[in-house]
Amino acid sequence: MSSEESNARLAEFNFQVGRHVYLSNDFTFPKLQRYMIKRELNGYKVEEGDETRSLIIDYLFEATSLGIFSELYQNLEFLNLSRIIGCHNIVPSIDPRGLNELTFLSINNCEDLECIMDASQSPQGESGNPMMLSKLARLYMQQLPELKQIWKAPAQHVSLQTLTALSVYECNNLTYIFSLSQTRSLVQLKSLEVSRCERLECIVKVKFDHNEGEISVEYENRILELSLLRNLSLGYLPELISFCSENYYSTWPALEKLDLRCCPNLTVNNTELEANLQYLGENLNTLDVEDCSHLRDTIPALLKHGLKNLEELNIVEIGVQVVFQVEAIIAEGQENKLFPCLESLQLEDLRELQVLLYHEGPTHNFSLQNLTDLTVRGCIKLRRLLSSTLARNLLQLEKLYIWKCWELEQIIDEDEDEDHLQPICFPKLTWIFVGHCPKLKYLFHISVAPSLQKLMKLEIFSNDELEEVFWDKDGAHVMDYDEIVMDELPYVSLKDLPNLTNFWPTGYQIPVPLARVCCCPKFRADSENSGAERPQTTNEEDASQEGDVSVDAREEEDDEKYD
């Protein structure tokens, strides 16, 4: 077909911008300066207003048909391929010239793809043009069952100096991501996410084949620095053993977010941990660790040094006995520098957890003064959650969620309170949820109640031994708490509390908040002991359906896990 004919057809094609059209088998695109072409189930579609040179191909497209775009590949910037049949590699199969203007590449569900770049298949052979994908900045790959290597080429053919983001998802034949030489070229990498790759053993594999450009271990620096990496996420990788093989290790001077989930064989050796301690202590913002059993000693070892920019900490299904193990005595004036920015703390399914904080020095030197959200769930050996000293520092706490802590006897450890004359206050607390803690006899001492001026929601469920919501020791010293005003509390739900008798301690004449009460046979809402003047309501449907999340739904979700 002549260029005049091709241009004439393209003019007709462009006339239908925004609509799907069908092209003849002999159609080829001429060189274009600006375009965004989509090939979908209903045909091709061109969209206006996008300045990038973009090609999006989806829905069971034969790789042999990609030739119609051959004139576009040389200056193509954005390429998204999904469900392409018969494509074994991107370079050179799609473009032997190397796609050297491409900055974005996304490949999804291409069942025949074996590697992204294969220099051995290049028309020039392995000694051909070394420049391939030389401007690639973002690479996203998912559901590629036959992918065995990302880059199959000697070191001189692969330069990843422009790569800033890499995401790999469900590529179950991959055993590693980078070679040693490739890793050393990752000077711009900022985000690395790898998830659900069943055979992946390491992120960086050190090879000893000089034909692939690797250097002898004897003369190599074993530290691999990813100087700009800010986000590292590794999830659901059952065979992952380490970040680097062969006793190499990486450092992350700029890391802000670390997410490690369901990597049961992942280990971090002491050398690697010590090399990163200073960096993480200065920069880490978010730490998520879930079901990584070999990190049970690593996480407390990291936390004991303090992370002064950490805002979010989530620890799930790890055999730790202590979360904050502060061994050194903190100097006067340094107590708020361990976790001064921590706002959210989630502890879930820590079945060996016995204490939140262990401190050899004075406990008043440890503070979580900016914590707003505290969730403790499935910590079945925990007997006391907060020391009274730590509780006094939680002046910013807004949400408290406690669920299925079977041995929990006290939320605040009253037995070790050395400064009982100083009241514990939660002036910003808006939501309290406590459920399935069968040994808990009460929530808080009565002295806490005056500070709960912003409380909007109180939910208490299935705590078999709970007798009072607020307590006072032996009821011996009834004090005047006129400042307690909770009868207008918007939402109170009490459910399945067989031993609950009072909301307030015996002898206190304080109105009881209007509550949704279900299956609390001993509860006396208007007895002379409680001093309540307002009636209760009994609406089981309201008690289970209202609130942020259905209580029944939570129970159904957790029953299989805990029972």
Which pLDDT does position 338 carry in this prediction?
A: 81
Residue 216 is predicted with a pLDDT of 47
Helix, strand, or coil here: 155? Answer: helix
pLDDT at 72: 86
Model confidence at 536, pLDDT cuts 50, 70, 90, reads: very low
Is the confidence at residue 466, as pLDDT, over 90?
yes
If we measure between CA atoms, which residue out of 155, 212, 211 comes closest to residue 183?
155
**198-206 average pLDDT score:** 95
Phi/psi zone of residue 108: left (φ > 0), alpha (ψ -120 to 50 degrees), beta?
beta
pLDDT at residue 336 in the model = 57
Give the C-alpha separation, 394 to 368, whole Å: 6
pLDDT at residue 159 is higher than 90: no
551 — pLDDT class (breaks 50, 70, 90): very low
Alpha-carbon span 398 to 409, nearest angstrom: 22
Angle subtended at Cα 224 by Cα 151 and Cα 242, rounded to the nearest 5 degrees: 75
| Residue closest to 305 by CA, chosen among 325, 334, 285 | 325
Cβ atoms within 10 Å, residue 469: 26
Whether 402 shows a pLDDT value over 60: the answer reads yes
Query: Residue 36 phi/psi, 5° resolution?
Result: -145, 105
- Please state, in angstroms and rounded to a whole number, the distance separating the CA atoms of residues 49 and 42: 21
Cα(563)–Cα(552) distance, rounded to whole angstroms? 15
What's the confidence (pLDDT) of residue 144? Answer: 97
Reported as a single tens digit per residue, the pLDDT across 293-327 is 999 999 999 998 889 999 999 999 999 999 998 76
Output the furthest CA–CA distance in the chain (Å, rounded).
101
Higher pLDDT, 339 or 534: 339
- The whole-number average pLDDT for the span 341-361 is 91
Q: How high does pLDDT run on average in the chain?
A: 82
Q: Tell me the mean pLDDT in the region 374-399.
A: 95
Grade residue 146 by pLDDT with cuts at 50, 70 and 90: very high
Quick one: tokens of 370?
């900016």
Q: How confident is the model at residue 544 (pLDDT cuts 50, 70, 90)?
A: very low
Beta-bridge partners for 401: 375, 433
**473, 438 in Cβ contact below 8 A?**
no
Side-chain-facing half-sphere of 292: CA atoms under 13 Å? 24
Which residues are within 8 A (CB) of 198 and not within 5 positions of it... i.e. 6 or more apart? 172, 237, 238, 239
Q: Is the peptide bond before 92 cis (omega within 30 degrees of 0)?
A: yes
* pLDDT at position 47: 52
How many other β-carbons are positioned within 10 Å of the β-carbon of residue 476?
7
> Per the structure block, which two tokens stand in for 275?
């090399």
Indicate the pLDDT class of residue 530, thresholds 50, 70 and 90. very low
Give the total residue count for the chain: 563
> How many C-beta neighbours within 10 Å does residue 123 have?
9
Mean pLDDT for 366-377 is: 93
Residues facing residue 316 across a β-bridge: 290, 348
Which comes out higher in pLDDT, residue 155 or 438?
438
Residue 152's pLDDT is what?
84
| Highest averaged pLDDT of the listed ranges 386-390, 394-398, 504-508 | 394-398
Higher pLDDT, 549 or 396: 396
Q: Cα–Cα distance between 284 and 303 in angstroms, integer? A: 11
pLDDT on residue 397? 97
Of 16-25, 116-125, 335-344, the poorest mean pLDDT is in 16-25
Name the nearest CA neighbour of 117 among 91, 80, 143. 91
pLDDT, tens digit, 9 for 90 and up, residues 75-91: 899 999 999 999 999 99
pLDDT of residue 39: 65
Arithmetic mean of pLDDT, 215-226: 70
Which of 88-92, 366-370, 380-384 bottoms out in mean pLDDT, i.e. has the lowest? Answer: 366-370
| CA pair distance 533, 538, nearest whole angstrom | 16
Check: CB of residue 478 under 8 Å from CB of residue 508.
yes
Question: Cβ–Cβ contacts within 10 Å for residue 125, how many?
Answer: 9
Structure-block tokens of residue 320: 């730790």
Mean pLDDT of 440-465: 94
Q: What is the mean pLDDT of residues 404-420?
A: 82
The pLDDT of 107-127, averaged and rounded, is 79
Q: Which residue has the higher pLDDT, 350 or 527?
A: 350
Query: What pLDDT does residue 550 have?
Result: 43
pLDDT, position 54: 87
Put residue 220 in one of left, alpha, beta given phi > 0 → left and psi -120 to 50 → alpha: beta
Q: Is the pLDDT of residue 549 over 90?
A: no
State whether the Cα torsion 523-526-529-530 is positive or negative: positive
Residue 322 has a pLDDT of 93
How far apart are the C-alpha atoms of 281 and 461, rounded to whole Å?
39
pLDDT at position 279: 95
* Contact between 31 and 72 (Cβ < 8 Å): yes
Q: Which of 270, 175, 166 is nearest to 226 (CA)?
A: 166
φ, ψ at 412 (rounded to 5°): -115, 125
Structure tokens at 153: 């080429």
Q: Where are the alpha helices (DSSP H) in 397-443?
A: none
Return the SS3 of 373.
strand
pLDDT (0 to 100) of residue 330: 55
For 278-289, what is the mean pLDDT? 96
Between 559 and 435, residue with greater pLDDT: 435
DSSP string covering 15-59, please? TTTTS-B---TT------SSEEEEEETTEEEE-SS--SEEEEE-S
Residue percentage of the chain with pLDDT more than 70: 74
Q: Is the dihedral of CA 70, 61, 121, 102 positive or negative?
A: positive
Instruction: Identify whether the C-beta of residue 229 lies closer than 8 Å to the C-beta of residue 223.
Output: no
Give the residue with greater pLDDT, 449 vs 536: 449
Q: What average pLDDT does this structure show over 203-224?
A: 66
Per-residue model confidence as pLDDT tens digits over 36-72: 777 655 555 545 444 478 888 887 678 887 888 888 8
- Of 156-170, 245-259, 338-352, 414-428, least confident by mean pLDDT is 414-428
User: Is the per-residue pLDDT at 123 higher than 70?
Assistant: no
